[in-house]
Amino acid sequence: MKFKKIFLLFIIFLAMLGMGSMLSNIQSDEANQLLEAYGLSNNTRYIKIKNDQNISTFVRYLEQKFPKNKIQLHLASNRKDKQTLIWSNKDVLTLPTEAGRYFTSDDFKGRVSFGVLGLNANVKQYKTQGNQYIVLNNKYYTVIGTLKHYRQMKQNGYYLTTGSKQPTGQFKLRNYVIIIDSSTRVIRQIAAHYGVKVKTPSFVKSHQSHQFSVIKEILLIGVFILIAGISNLILAFLDWQTVKQTHLSGGLLRNWLLNHGIRTILTEILLVFGAYFFLCWRAFFSKPDHLLLLLLVSWIIISIIYSYGIFYRVRKEKLDA
């Protein structure tokens, strides 16, 4: 009997892992194309400005013209295909890092450019006294983080902050494809100011066409909840069999069922947190709080099923008596 209960609890744990894996697939699919542009939204567009203006001049124009609008730039180099410059007037989406951290809004305001590396960044580096630097044209850029490995990200790229006061702001605008994430109105005004066409990146088109293709994962989450619920119903049946073998009745029966039921439910909440930490360690979640919410909701559902199974047996026993 004890082995059967352990086996059923193991099935419930596996079902929770299955739910979490499906949620990870959903969030990965949603983020799949977006992560290729490293945290940009579906409203992202790109332009090419073919003049000798510096990036710092372009950024100052954005700061003066659109002080209240959120704008994020990713400038992909035409000459150095592994280099991307990042600028934003607000905090950017935090991307998962293997070490260190990703950029924050403060990194774009100062006079120093910082770098974040892909896991296998193809760029000259220098390490000394525990510090790591990217070396470009005899200039050193402090590395503040290394991105985690995800198939959506180019692993051999590297990313530098830019801004109106930073060394990378002196790079020529014509050498970069300017990827802009902002409102449609802002993007159109920028394009009109420079007399260029606005285009939609392929990753945005692809994501827009696939953003609703998650029905299979949702159905599988329902199946896993059903499996966990059936397992808990069997657990309730096994517990009732144990009660019948002890010949308990009255207050002793109620106390036994209450105490044993609470132990079962508390054991399953431990399974919830065990599944949560394991999945956060092994899978990708853009919003881990959604995973915790899913597991807690599933726990509530299967707890209700277990309680109903016990209540049904007690009621049936009374009616038969």
Amino acid identity of residue 217, one-letter, is E
285 or 122: which carries more pLDDT confidence?
122
Q: How far apart are CA 320 and CA 182, in angstroms?
A: 69
Query: Taking a C-beta distance cutoff of 8 angstroms, is the pair 173, 49 a contact?
Result: yes
Q: Give yes or no: residues 42 and 9 share one domain.
A: no
Residue 104 in domain: yes
260's tokens = 């044993």
Q: Give yes or no: residues 234 and 104 share one domain.
A: no
Q: Give yes or no: residues 192 and 75 share one domain.
A: yes
**pLDDT for the residue 303:** 92
Q: Give yes or no: residues 309 and 163 share one domain.
A: no
Residue 299 in domain: yes
57 or 31: which carries more pLDDT confidence?
57
The predicted model scores a pTM of 0.57
151 or 156: which carries more pLDDT confidence?
156
Q: How far apart are CA 142 and CA 99, in angstroms?
A: 14
Residue 268 in domain: yes
Residue range of the domain that includes 143? 38-200
Q: Give yes or no: residues 26 and 175 share one domain.
A: no
Q: Give yes or no: residues 302 and 284 share one domain.
A: yes
**How large is the angle between the packed helices 215-246 and 250-282, nearest 10 degrees?**
150
Neighbours of 86 (CB within 10 A): 25
Q: Using the 3D structure, point to which of 175, 200, 225 is the last residue of a domain.
A: 200
Q: Which of 69-73, 210-214, 294-298 has the least mean pLDDT? A: 210-214
Phi/psi for 45 (5° steps) reads -135, 170
Length of the chain: 321
Residue 71 in domain: yes
Question: What's the domain count of the chain?
Answer: 2
Q: Give yes or no: residues 255 and 166 share one domain.
A: no
Q: Give yes or no: residues 178 and 232 share one domain.
A: no
Residue 206 in domain: no
Mean pLDDT value across the chain: 85
Query: Taking a C-beta distance cutoff of 8 angstroms, is the pair 108, 161 a contact?
Result: yes
Q: How far apart are CA 142 and CA 96, in angstroms?
A: 19
Residue 205 in domain: no
Residue 218 in domain: yes
Q: Give yes or no: residues 218 and 307 share one domain.
A: yes
| Whether the predicted pLDDT of 210 surpasses 60 | no
C-alpha to C-alpha distances, 208 to 22, 151, 172, 237, 319, nearest whole angstrom: 20, 19, 32, 48, 58
Q: Give yes or no: residues 194 and 260 share one domain.
A: no
If we measure between CA atoms, which residue out of 89, 183, 107 comes closest to residue 143?
107
Segment 262-274 mean pLDDT: 92
147 or 142: which carries more pLDDT confidence?
142
Segment 287-294 mean pLDDT: 90
Q: Give yes or no: residues 225 and 142 share one domain.
A: no
C-alpha to C-alpha distances, 39 to 31, 60, 88, 216, 305, nearest whole angstrom: 8, 23, 12, 25, 40
Q: How far apart are CA 143 and CA 121, in angstroms?
A: 12
